[in-house]
Amino acid sequence: MIIDKETGNIIFDTGEVLKPRMTLDEVKASSIIGLLRDENINDIEHSLWFKPFTCYGSTVYMKAVMSSKRIGKVTICLDEAANFYEDPYYDRKFPLYEEKHINFIKKILQIDEFDGDIHFKWGCVDFSANARSAYMKIGIKYYLEDEDTEDL
């Protein structure tokens, strides 16, 4: 899986493409529908829950959130971090989970450095984590089509 830095397209290893601001109808008509969890296929009005898949040696848990019947945001969590609050030693492993997520971002964006967020003309990719609340995720947020992004 990679993210095309020019377009914001998420390109899966299997060839499917999740495009920024895809409409609900576009999702239904695309091969993306085959990547969704079975229980989600008939209820995609608000969120698209993807089947877990392996990428760069990690199990990827991914969700796309619909806003006004368009994809507005995608969240990604890797491996044990998806449920690390159940691990009594998560606080010791937290730095390892952080590093794994940041390295994953570098790979999907094909970049060498990442300092927490990066902006593009189509949106931004960020990473947020909080050890106290056992929270960690990669966020891909798409700008509205008519939003002024000249200064980014």
In Å, how far are 12, 31, 46, 49, 98 from 127, measured between CA atoms? 20, 28, 22, 19, 9
Say what the pLDDT of residue 133 is.
75
Tell me the mean pLDDT in the region 68-76: 93
Say what the pLDDT of residue 150 is.
45
pLDDT at 151 over 50: no
CA torsion, points 114, 99, 36, 72, in degrees to nearest 10?
Answer: -30
pLDDT tens-digit map of 98-144: 999 999 999 999 999 999 999 999 999 999 998 877 788 999 999 97
Say what the pLDDT of residue 85 is.
65
pLDDT at 148 over 60: no
pTM over 0.85: yes
pLDDT band (50, 70, 90) for residue 149: very low
In Å, how far are 133, 141, 146 from 83, measured between CA atoms? 12, 23, 37
With a pLDDT cut of 70, the percent of the chain lying above it is: 91
Say which residue, 150 or 35, is predicted with more confidence. Answer: 35
